[in-house]
Amino acid sequence: MIIDCHGHYTTAPPALAAWRDQQIASLADPGVKPAQADLRISDDELRETIEPNQLRLMDERGIDLTIFSPRASFMAHHVGGFETSAEWAAICNELCHRVSTLYPERFAPAAMLPQSPGVDPATCLPELTRCVEEYGAVALNLNPDPSGGHWTAPPLTDRSWYPIYERMVEYDIPAMVHVSTSVNPAFHTTGAHYLNADTTAFMQLVQGDLFTDFPTLRLVIPHGGGAVPYHWGRFRGLAMALGKPELEDHLLGNVFFDTCVYHQPGSDLLFDVIPARNILFASEMIGAVRSVDPRTGHHFDDTRRYAEAAKLSEEDWAAIREHNARAVYPRLDALLKGQGR
């Protein structure tokens, strides 16, 4: 089977964005603050947004299951304070759970956290717990920059993040390190901020010794790892200069990369540089790049085509498309086994 480890609910019904707009307006005028109960989205409305979009493309591309989380750019942790983020996360996580309930063999839920700039990450633990225990979340999205492109948070190796890691280890659940919207005009959200964050997160991990404290913690760096595969020699050299072990020993027991790379040469580079055991199939459809590449006649985000054209061994392709995801996401593996898959 083919498991897409990187999907977002980018096609949610318009009522969700309208509710969010009202929530944001209430930060200036508390009198217009909406209640969670004001948001009414029926199961039929969910089906109408999923079936002609994500499900249609999954069927066309032969993708069996997608790990499905709230829209990354909508997380917007910089908006308001912790209470704002907590309410917003609860609503978005519930919708992804409902989609996975409507299509239990096609989607598995992943949770966003109610992060907020300058707020103790431990405040995210109740929502994390609820999503795992009540919604069956198989993964988390962890934003290393809740400020929206200004990078005011400490590095991921800082002990302030440890309460989240401790709970992740307890639940044996991984996190995708994924930023949200950039409000810094110097960084385009999907063209710069996302890829900057992937690269920055990796370098933070190179500099630290996080996995000495958490040897079973697993982090997925999306978008092919940003600049990481392209500059693997630089990172190896920097690790040496810092007195760290080789990257394979220092990080690759715990850090994984997805295949959200949208052209053949970039995908080939990822497969050539990063060991197959550290790569997870993903497309991020329907996401940052939704158009058809005029040079190929296929969608940029049809990443299966790149993998199949890369001349991977059948063993490596099987690992990338399925087996690695089952190992990195044990709760997903249990879910699939419960379904007889």
Residues designated as active site: 284
**Of 146, 16, 8, 25, which is closest to residue 85 (Cα–Cα)?**
146
Paired sense of beta strands 298-299 and 292-293, if any: antiparallel
Q: What phi, psi does 219 have (nearest 5°)?
A: -125, 135
Give helix then strand counts, H and E, for the chain: 16, 10
| Cis omega (within 30 of 0) for bond into 41 | no
CB atoms within 10 A of CB 173: 24
From CA 330, how far away is CA 156, in angstroms rounded?
23
Amino acid at position 287, single letter: G
Q: How far apart are CA 255 and CA 252, in angstroms?
A: 5
Token duo for residue 191: 């063209």
